[in-house]
Amino acid sequence: MDAGLDILSVFKENGLFDYEVSEELVGGAAIDAVGKPLPEKTVESCQSSDAILLGAIGGPKWDHCKERPEAGLLALRKQLSLYANIRPIQVSEELVHLSPIKEDRITGTDFVIVRELTGGIYFGESRELNEENALDTCIYTKEEIERIMRAAFELAQTRRKKVTSVDKSNVLATSKLWRQVAIEVSKDYPDVTLEHQLVDSCAMVMITKPKEFDVIVTENMFGDILSDEASVLTGSLGVLASSSLSKTGIHLFEPIHGSAPDIAGQNVANPLSMIYSVSMMLRDSFKQYKLADMVDEAVRQVMKKDIMTKDLGGSYSTTDVTRHIRQELM
């Protein structure tokens, strides 16, 4: 988070972009400070902001607490109606050698996962029925599906005009509804091709033919699994950012990686996914396209000079990399 805010502050110092930041607690840090993972003050502060930058929320420290850090994130998504999680998956030429996938299969991969984020089994009734049984329910409404479909189709219109809707319609009622709504909504976007894929099949094609995809749209639980699967294809988890779009217009931006407890606090974590989260925010929430491009270009220059953290094969620290990007921008 420090790295992201540091880069953003360059534009304030330059007089290119003025803003205020308020820092609030969520997840584990909030549990430690006030005993719950999503304090009201955090929600209120988010609601009166123009955009939200999120750090990571959990770690083994809270594994055995009654209050769970994750509950804070889920409540934040629900209370702010962050219904569409957008995860671009791209392989950069400089980093393609880091991919676990053979180069000829992965080079040129460029797709986006659009994950429904406020419905499904994440937010249905979920409880122990008694000591012997537990239950979770997955509910989807037509309205929820339609909303996320429109996000996917509109995104596809700005790209290669193909939507892959992922479901398990050969088994689940919610997936049958999902597919039906996908077909209905697609009629409003005649320039976009819609294809359907079963979730198990999609998990395969993602590895064997990742170039096939343009925009993948899927429900919450499948999206959780598939977007994490997709994130390792490129071999550079540390450079991926994501946005969660809200109907209120207050969007959230965050790195794809989690709290990485194995390296936390050692000044070796890759700051690029947070810095890319900042450029996504500048672009999507503040329409500061030029500034966003400047950030992306600064990152590119620094990478070209092989100034990278360990995960990308370099030996620079988090603060080193950030400082070089800052210098590039000044």
Ligand X SMILES: CC(C)[C@H](C(=O)O)[C@@H](O)C(=O)O
Q: Which residues are catalytic?
A: 122, 168, 200, 224, 228
The correct pick among 33, 171, 183, 264 for binding a second copy (CB under 8 A) is: 171
- Single-letter amino acid, residue 163: V
* Residue 136 near ligand X by CB under 6 A: no
Cβ atoms within 10 Å, residue 93: 8
CB 166 within 8 A of CB 218: yes
Q: At closest approach, how far in Å is the CB of 48 from a second copy?
A: 29
* Residue 126 near ligand X by CB under 6 A: no
Q: Which stretch binds ligand X (CB under 6 A): 67-75, 155-163, 206-214, 319-327?
A: 67-75
175-204: contacts with ligand X (CB under 6 A): 200
Those residues with Cβ within 8 angstroms of residue 128's Cβ, 6 or more apart along the chain or in another chain: 134, 135
Those residues with Cβ within 8 angstroms of residue 313's Cβ, 6 or more apart along the chain or in another chain: 98
Which tokens go with 282?
């500048």
Q: At closest approach, how far in Å is the CB of 194 from a second copy?
A: 15
Which tokens go with 8?
């953003």
The correct pick among 30, 73, 112, 155 for binding ligand X (CB under 6 A) is: 73
Strands 110-116 and 82-90: antiparallel
CB 255 within 8 A of CB 273: yes
Phi, psi of 127 (to 5 degrees): -160, 160
* Residue 133 near a second copy by CB under 8 A: yes
The correct pick among 1, 34, 207, 263 for binding a second copy (CB under 8 A) is: 207
* Residue 267 near ligand X by CB under 6 A: no
Give the residue at shortest CB distance from ligand X: 70
Taking only Cα atoms into account, the Rg of the chain, rounded to an integer number of angstroms, comes to 20
Pick the closer one to a second copy by CB: 203 or 268.
203
Q: At closest approach, how far in Å is the CB of 58 from ligand X?
A: 6
In the sheet that holds 110-116, the strands lie side by side as 51-53, 251-255, 241-246, 82-90, 110-116, 215-218, 162-167, 193-198
CB 267 within 8 A of CB 317: yes
* Residue 132 near a second copy by CB under 8 A: yes
Binding mask 222-241 for ligand X (x = CB under 6 A): --x-----------------
Q: What is the DSSP letter of 209?
A: -
Query: Contact residues for a second copy (CB under 8 A)?
Result: 58, 68, 70, 74, 99-102, 105, 121-122, 124, 126-129, 131-143, 168, 170-174, 176-177, 199-201, 203-204, 206-208, 221-222, 224-229, 231-233, 237
Query: Contact residues for ligand X (CB under 6 A)?
Result: 70, 73-74, 170-171, 200, 224
